[in-house]
Amino acid sequence: MTETRITPALRMAEIQPELERLRRRGFLRRALSLGGLTLLTGCDLSTHSGIDAALEAILRFDDRIQKALFSPHRMAETYPASAITKPFRFNAYYAEWQVRPVPDNWALSVSGLVRDKRAWPLPALMALPQQGQITRHICIEGWSQIGQWSGVPLGVFLRRVGADLSARYVSFKCFDGYSTSIDMASALQSQTLLALDFETAPLTPQWGAPLRLRIPTKLGFKSAKNLEAIEVTNTYPGGYWENQGYDWFAGV
């Protein structure tokens, strides 16, 4: 064998950590799939298409448990003004400099299982009954902060537009490309707001101007900012994060 002195494209030392990571990954996945079977004794394994399918099935089971644990009469804790977190942390699926300004002639569109599908310009929303709250906003990442919002209780709004309150979902679309959806029971919980104000001033774009959802009984990613459309529906609407694998109910 002739010895050549060609510099290899890859040196073992360079890829060792990556190989190690893949090896461990593979080990964990194999080990864990055994446990996956233990969890899935009630499932038809002939249609079982992998660990992700199993995890998704368990998340749907978790959603049913969360729905059963939810009580519309249980209130999120409220705090004094002195407890408000300052400075309040900006959070979105994009960086703060990418925040969109409010479009000209903005109005909230309403569709689906509702009697009155007229769009709502801002002054009309401001004329509805208002309510304020100082509650804890809990992010799915684990951090939390206490903020103050006020606006129209979503239940008041849904009744005003003659929504079918037995429908399963209320879906939200935002003009920044975000979307989310919640169950009707949580939508009607009295602390769920269509917020117009943050702290004591009208919402500014980074806090969700001109209108955002504020729902303290769910994780932060459900409190969609920069709303432009609400739909009441029985067809599962999903959402930006929900479609990527966050659990849909996301109750706290």
Query: Which residues make up the interface to other proteins (CB under 8 A)?
Result: 17, 20-21, 24-25, 28, 31-32, 34-35, 38-39, 54-56, 58-59, 62, 66, 69-71, 74-77, 136, 138-144, 216-217, 241, 244-247, 251-252
Tokens of 121: 């310009």
CA-to-CA separations, 206 to 55, 172, 175, 211, 217, in angstroms, rounded: 34, 18, 13, 11, 22
Q: Are 108 and 119 in contact (CB under 8 A)?
A: yes
User: Considering beta carbons, is residue 120 or 221 the nearer one to other proteins?
Assistant: 221
How many Cα neighbours within 13 Å face the side chain of 180? 27
Shortest Å distance, C-beta 17 to other proteins: 8
User: Considering beta carbons, is residue 50 or 101 the nearer one to other proteins?
Assistant: 50
Q: Are 111 and 163 in contact (CB under 8 A)?
A: no
Residue 176 Ramachandran class (φ > 0 left, ψ -120 to 50 alpha, else beta)? alpha
Shortest Å distance, C-beta 57 to other proteins: 9
Shortest Å distance, C-beta 35 to other proteins: 5
User: Considering beta carbons, is residue 204 or 243 the nearer one to other proteins?
Assistant: 243
Residue 74 to residue 84: CA distance in whole angstroms: 22
Shortest Å distance, C-beta 245 to other proteins: 4
Specify the pairing of strand 144-153 against strand 120-121.
unpaired
- Residue with token string 């799915």: 140
Shortest Å distance, C-beta 205 to other proteins: 24
The helix-helix angle for 51-69 and 12-39 (nearest 10°) equals 50
User: Considering beta carbons, is residue 51 or 127 the nearer one to other proteins?
Assistant: 51
User: Considering beta carbons, is residue 79 or 175 the nearer one to other proteins?
Assistant: 79
Helices (H), the chain: 12-39, 51-69, 122-126, 154-160, 184-188
User: Considering beta carbons, is residue 27 or 118 the nearer one to other proteins?
Assistant: 27
Shortest Å distance, C-beta 200 to other proteins: 25
